[in-house]
Structure 1
Amino acid sequence: MAEAAGPDLAAAVTLLGAAVVAVPLFRRWGLGSVLGYLAAGLAMGPFGLRVIGDPEAMLHVAELGVVLFLFIIGLEMEPRRLWSMRRDIFGLGLAQVLLCMALLAPVGVALGYPLATSLVAGTGFVLTSTAIVMQMLSERGDLSRARGQHVVSILLLEDLAIVPLLALVAFLAPGGAEPLTGGERALAIATGLGAIALLILAGWYLLNPLFRFLATFGGREVMTAGALLVVLGSALLLQAGGLSAAMGAFLAGVLLSESTFRHQLEADIEPFRGLLLGLFFLAVGMSLDLSAVAADWRLILLTVLAYTALKSLGIYAVARLFRASHPEALERTVLMAQGGEFAFVLYAAALGVGLIDARGSAALTAVIVLSMVLTPLLLAAHDRWLRRPPQPDDGDAEAPDGLQGSVLLIGFGRFGQIAAQVLLSRGWSVSIIDTDTQMIAVAGYMGMKVHYGDGARLDILQAAGAAEARAVLICIDRPETATRIAQVMKAEYPLVPVLARAFDRAHALALVRAGVDFQLRETFESALSLGARALDDLGESPEVVEQVLEEVRKRDADRFAAQMTGDLTSGRDLLLSNLPDHLRDAARAAAPDRLAQAMQDTGRS
């Protein structure tokens, strides 16, 4: 009996090994993970060690990574966020993209290529590498500054532009069959618009109820399956309507960008997106024809120089036109002069519809790779000879809508609601996550936005913006989960202040050991207030009441400190000091060991 053919595990292991080695090395050298994937793919492909003989088959599977990538981008296109940054996004960003397209498109025409091919080739280079630029802005501490926010706005516009650009590639594709009649063209347009309308209606009326049902009655893996179903189903719907799968995923993300479940969806999709997008870049690297690159090296070098120079001119001109200073305009030019990841997506689409051939795709891929390699070198030269220290007026960017900053609040029960009111009353923006779907619905009726998510998961915290938060408040009523959240926060984001609600004294001790900056037992201050009111009603003077409260707080703090150091005897004596003399002496004589053991076991009061 013939043995059934199984998966090629040796090839899979070799490919993963190459990626695991190459990506960390390239990131350590400051060249980014994208170039690491490309290098690993090149080494493993038919023009390297020939571990993989058919990169085209892998490329078709890996294109799912692009679909998931566009869904994540859609989730970040929250209409309110776009509106608050509208001037920079649709003014500065659009001006830069259009001017650079106008400057770069003639390069291909001058080299003898058709206008449509030249337009796609130049447009691909216009799209900056988001991964490289965001990493460099973060390393330089510029993300929160005004100049960094301008760059982020341009990147957002470029991310948004990939959807119409993919549609443009399909429109420019040479017709391989008989031309469509007027009726057929009208039917095709109506089908596409109908698919978009159906997706929008489903997004408005079905998606939130679906995820609310899954969150209430399903498990974590069911939520993940639901997220993948929505992404791939949206992509399939628009693909059936004659549009691109990427556009379907993007629209689904936009429709869910203000959903309660946004952070959970982003966290569930992120691992699949990262793996498949890395596989896409591996496949691009494997598809790179080194013989074609070697044959056209003069043309490739000339194209890199021409594209980089013209794009730099466009970036600098737009920056100055929008009143950026010369140093800021120059730094933005150096940061954004390269091509980016979306160029590979655009060129792969153009290759698929026949706008460029395999040799042209290899040459253009080499152009993008070389420009990305040059970026860290150009930036290092700029920082050494041209960069000036930040000026006094180059402070933090103003937060939109007059908000002072962002606070992440985990748990929107009776405790979290009161804490949120205090922050909101002073104009602080508050991001809230909870897993109680009923409480989320109640918050919606109150006009507040609460996102569904498990705050103990690092990916949820990342999606909710924990790294950029000015403070994190843990307000949930489950001690073990609260402690785990504190441990994750302090392990991953040690500089972010963490304030936590403690269930009792034992939980408070655990939170302090986890590294929280402040903890408060949920009943401590309310019990003190009740006791103070009782003293007042019994006729004690306000001065005496305040003195008693201060003494109780001090004894409690001393006892807490003693328990933190493990000095149970001192803690026991501090506790007994609250009792009248005859009860204190009786307790010491009767059961000193039992009292100490009880304090160690329960830690309550």
Structure 2
Amino acid sequence: MAEAQSTDLVQLVALLGAGVVAVPVFKRIGLGSVIGYLAAGVAIGPFGLGLFTDPQAILHVAELGVVMFLFVIGLEMRPSRLWGLRREIFGLGVAQVVVCGIVLTGAGILVGLPPAASFVAGAGFVLTSTATVMQLLDERGETASPAGQRIVSILLLEDLSIVPLIAAVVLLGTTGADDHALPFWQSALIAVGAVAAVVAAGRWLLNPMFRILARANAREVMTAAALLVVLGAALVMQLSGLSMAMGAFLAGVLLSESSFRHQLEADIEPFRGLLLGLFFLGVGMSLDLRVLVLDWEYILAALAGYMILKAIAIFAVARLFRADRREALTRAAMMAQGGEFAFVLYSAAVAGGVIDGRLNAILTATVILSMALTPLTVLALRYLPEPKQSLEGLDVADGLEGRVLMIGFGRFGQIVSQFLLSEGIDVTAIDSDADMVRSAARFGFKVYYGDGTRLDVLRAAGIEHADLVVVCTDKRESTDVIVELIRSEFPLAKLYVRSYDRQHTLKLRKLGVDFEIRETYESAFTFGMQSLEGLGYDEGRIAEVAETIREREAARLAIQMSGGQISYTDIQGKLLPQPLTVPKRRAKALNEEAAKATADAAE
């Protein structure tokens, strides 16, 4: 008994240790957490160190990570927003699944597979790995972007495709797989009933239940209830033949307008992240290295052929639905792999006699390798040249002589320009984003197309005649290039610059700009003053606190600029007046912060 417990503990420690070691290393070298988990799974799996002999048991539990991920996504997707994506789900999603299915099935037939086996092999690869794609979107911060929402819509449609695909495999089967199977119309009716049950529970039961539990003031019970909702919805969908992830997503959508939404998300998040990592570890363990050695030619051919053909089909569908070139390439790179549902589909096909065990092993290895390669294909997009912008209908900066030259006309520059234009000051604004230039024209602003990092463009924009140069670009790297170029070629130009953060401010001051300001500095000041007002402080005290903070910030910057030559006594005298109505804890914090600033500068 003790020996069995020791073995279980060793395996648990191995799982946690593999993830803790591998993920930071792979993220550090730029390959992302997914490949880190997959590599760790291979290392500790049955074909590595052999610490685990049954990867499927790990995968069975870890699939709940995908389920919880979709629940969190559902919490962010209000019903009105989901309804707004109906065209993407049932238009774009159906188009991609159908086109990819036809292409991959045709490829299987061309290489000599029977039509039924070709269809099953292609269908398993058509359905993208929800876990892999969602993790990549989350790491890139693109889940809520329009392009990210279109990918989520396609993934939802692919989840809906599970029922008809399973039914198709059963119909194609030749051995006992269909002995106890229900007719398709009954399966579809059960699936509709399950969806209706989840919707009804979400609409009339969940909110009252959470209100009752909230009154009990038991945090652990709320966490248990959150898990119950997710797993319960997943179970109902699974029993009806649908995807567990689909059930969790639907439950999340139904709770997206609940007052308990943020509490639910906070309760689920730790389980979601841990189980999703466990899922990728399980996938890595499932990679049969013996199959790779014996059938590597077939696996590499299938991997290259399926990924390339699927990527081409996805790109074509994306362009057909008017996605720009960059978005179409990104979608093709992210979704060119097979998915975890392929394991279920291939197992059903083996049971039904549609494919044999060897083909199943080859296809499973192909899907796993495609999931491992996906982060690398997405990483490769960084090295592709940016698509050339169409300059049709744009005025290019040439021979201009405005009193103020503004470089960058984004959110920051647009507000700055209103002060200048309101006084009738002649402003020449240039921007390197053609879409921004066109958008500004629609609102009555005259902006010229031009790249401020080029000397010839600056001359054409009239920098030699400008009384003031205002740099309002939003990328720190571009701002640095522009400032260094202007300071080198036009040292007498009066230069006002938008700064990104504190370190950027220090760099710009060392470059000798006449004025700089952090893009969020004044808005944060206003926000802080309003917060004090909301707490009942009088206007005089708020102004005094604001002035104190401004002086302290100025002194801290002076310390960093001068290498610590300003003494603590000087700082204390400038920055720490008698606190008056400021609470003692706040006065103490100000003193400690000033002392820390001095110590940091001295180091």
TM-score (normalizing by structure 1): 0.61
Q: Judge conservation of contact 1:334–1:379 (CA < 8 Å) in 2.
A: no
Partner secondary structure for residue 205 of structure 2? helix
- Residue 258 in structure 1 maps to residue 257 in structure 2: yes
Name which of 340, 346, 356 aligns with 1:344. Answer: 340
* AA at the equivalent of 1:271: P
- Structure 2 CA distance for partners of 1:521 and 1:181, relative to 1, 3 Å: closer
> Where does residue 54 of structure 2 map in the other structure?
54
* AA at the equivalent of 1:17: G
* AA at the equivalent of 2:46: P
Structure 2: how far apart are the matches of 1:206 and 1:397? 50
Q: Judge conservation of contact 1:497–1:516 (CA < 8 Å) in 2.
A: no
> Where does residue 155 of structure 2 map in the other structure?
159
Q: Judge conservation of contact 1:32–1:131 (CA < 8 Å) in 2.
A: no
Structure 1: how far apart are the matches of 2:381 and 2:545? 57
Q: Which moved more, 1:2-11 or 1:26-35?
A: 2-11
Report matched runs for 1:319-398 at 5 Å: 319-325=318-324, 327-328=325-326, 331-332=329-330, 335-336=333-334, 338-339=336-337, 343-348=339-344, 350-351=346-347, 354=351, 359-372=358-371, 374-375=373-374, 383-384=382-383, 386-388=385-387, 392-394=433-435
Report matched runs for 1:232-271 at 5 Å: 232-241=231-240, 243-271=242-270
- Structure 2 CA distance for partners of 1:363 and 1:557, relative to 1, 3 Å: same
> Where does residue 146 of structure 2 map in the other structure?
149
Q: Kindly state the Cα deviation for residue 224 of structure 1 after the two structures are TM-superposed.
A: 1.0
Structure 2: how far apart are the matches of 1:553 and 1:37? 51
Q: Kindly state the Cα deviation for residue 206 of structure 1 after the two structures are TM-superposed.
A: 0.4
> Where does residue 426 of structure 2 map in the other structure?
none
Report matched runs for 1:524-603 at 5 Å: 557-558=546-547, 567=573, 571-572=577-578
Q: Judge conservation of contact 1:568–1:596 (CA < 8 Å) in 2.
A: no
* AA at the equivalent of 1:251: L
> Where does residue 12 of structure 1 map in the other structure?
12
Structure 1, unmatched stretches of 5+, are 399-493, 501-511, 529-550, 577-594
* AA at the equivalent of 1:99: V
Structure 1 residues 92-136: Cα deviation after superposition (integer angstroms, max 9, x where no partner): 444333322221222233344454553343244334566776787
Structure 1 residues 506-551: Cα deviation after superposition (integer angstroms, max 9, x where no partner): xxxxxx8xx97655423688966xxxxxxxxxxxxxxxxxxxxxx8
Q: Judge conservation of contact 2:34–2:375 (CA < 8 Å) in 1.
A: no
Report matched runs for 1:102-501 at 5 Å: 102-115=102-115, 117-128=117-128, 149-150=146-147, 152-171=148-167, 172-173=169-170, 174=173, 176=176, 179=179, 191-241=190-240, 243-325=242-324, 327-328=325-326, 331-332=329-330, 335-336=333-334, 338-339=336-337, 343-348=339-344, 350-351=346-347, 354=351, 359-372=358-371, 374-375=373-374, 383-384=382-383, 386-388=385-387, 392-394=433-435
TM-score (normalizing by structure 2): 0.61
* AA at the equivalent of 1:78: R
Q: Judge conservation of contact 1:203–1:255 (CA < 8 Å) in 2.
A: yes
> Where does residue 532 of structure 2 map in the other structure?
521
Structure 2: how far apart are the matches of 1:127 and 1:301? 20
Structure 2: how far apart are the matches of 1:170 and 1:253? 25
Structure 1 residues 568-598: Cα deviation after superposition (integer angstroms, max 9, x where no partner): 99844x979xxxxxxxxxxxxxxxxxx9989
- Structure 2 CA distance for partners of 1:497 and 1:102, relative to 1, 3 Å: farther
> Where does residue 400 of structure 2 map in the other structure?
none
Q: Judge conservation of contact 1:125–1:339 (CA < 8 Å) in 2.
A: yes
* AA at the equivalent of 1:521: L
- Structure 2 CA distance for partners of 1:103 and 1:78, relative to 1, 3 Å: farther
Structure 1: how far apart are the matches of 2:530 and 2:263? 27
- Structure 2 CA distance for partners of 1:116 and 1:264, relative to 1, 3 Å: farther
Structure 2: how far apart are the matches of 1:63 and 1:597? 52
Q: Judge conservation of contact 1:300–1:363 (CA < 8 Å) in 2.
A: yes
Partner secondary structure for residue 100 of structure 2? helix
Q: Judge conservation of contact 1:71–1:231 (CA < 8 Å) in 2.
A: yes
Structure 2: how far apart are the matches of 1:97 and 1:103? 10
* AA at the equivalent of 2:326: E
Structure 1: how far apart are the matches of 2:32 and 2:551? 49
Structure 1 residues 363-408: Cα deviation after superposition (integer angstroms, max 9, x where no partner): 334334444555565566665464346663445999xxxxxxxxxx
In the comparison of the two structures, how many residue pairs are matched?
445
Structure 1 residues 224-281: Cα deviation after superposition (integer angstroms, max 9, x where no partner): 1001111222233344445554443333223223322223222211221222222222
Q: Judge conservation of contact 2:330–2:381 (CA < 8 Å) in 1.
A: no
Structure 1 residues 161-204: Cα deviation after superposition (integer angstroms, max 9, x where no partner): 2422332343224473674698x877666555444333222111
Structure 1: how far apart are the matches of 2:218 and 2:583? 43
Partner secondary structure for residue 522 of structure 1? helix
- Structure 2 CA distance for partners of 1:599 and 1:293, relative to 1, 3 Å: closer
Structure 1: how far apart are the matches of 2:228 and 2:528? 41
* AA at the equivalent of 2:268: I
- Structure 2 CA distance for partners of 1:200 and 1:337, relative to 1, 3 Å: closer
Q: Kindly state the Cα deviation for residue 344 of structure 1 after the two structures are TM-superposed.
A: 1.8
Q: Kindly state the Cα deviation for residue 300 of structure 1 after the two structures are TM-superposed.
A: 1.4
Structure 1 residues 446-466: Cα deviation after superposition (integer angstroms, max 9, x where no partner): xxxxxxxxxxxxxxxxxxxxx
Q: Kindly state the Cα deviation for residue 555 of structure 1 after the two structures are TM-superposed.
A: 5.8
Structure 1: how far apart are the matches of 2:139 and 2:279? 26
> Where does residue 99 of structure 2 map in the other structure?
99
> Where does residue 25 of structure 1 map in the other structure?
25
Partner secondary structure for residue 5 of structure 2? coil
Q: Kindly state the Cα deviation for residue 27 of structure 1 after the two structures are TM-superposed.
A: 2.5
- Structure 2 CA distance for partners of 1:288 and 1:348, relative to 1, 3 Å: farther
Structure 2: how far apart are the matches of 1:598 and 1:153? 46
Q: Judge conservation of contact 2:552–2:575 (CA < 8 Å) in 1.
A: no
Structure 2: how far apart are the matches of 1:570 and 1:101? 70
> Where does residue 478 of structure 1 map in the other structure?
none
Structure 1: how far apart are the matches of 2:133 and 2:585? 57
Structure 1 residues 403-456: Cα deviation after superposition (integer angstroms, max 9, x where no partner): xxxxxxxxxxxxxxxxxxxxxxxxxxxxxxxxxxxxxxxxxxxxxxxxxxxxxx
- Structure 2 CA distance for partners of 1:287 and 1:360, relative to 1, 3 Å: farther
Partner secondary structure for residue 6 of structure 1? helix
- Structure 2 CA distance for partners of 1:216 and 1:375, relative to 1, 3 Å: same
Q: Judge conservation of contact 1:62–1:283 (CA < 8 Å) in 2.
A: yes
Q: Kindly state the Cα deviation for residue 45 of structure 1 after the two structures are TM-superposed.
A: 1.6
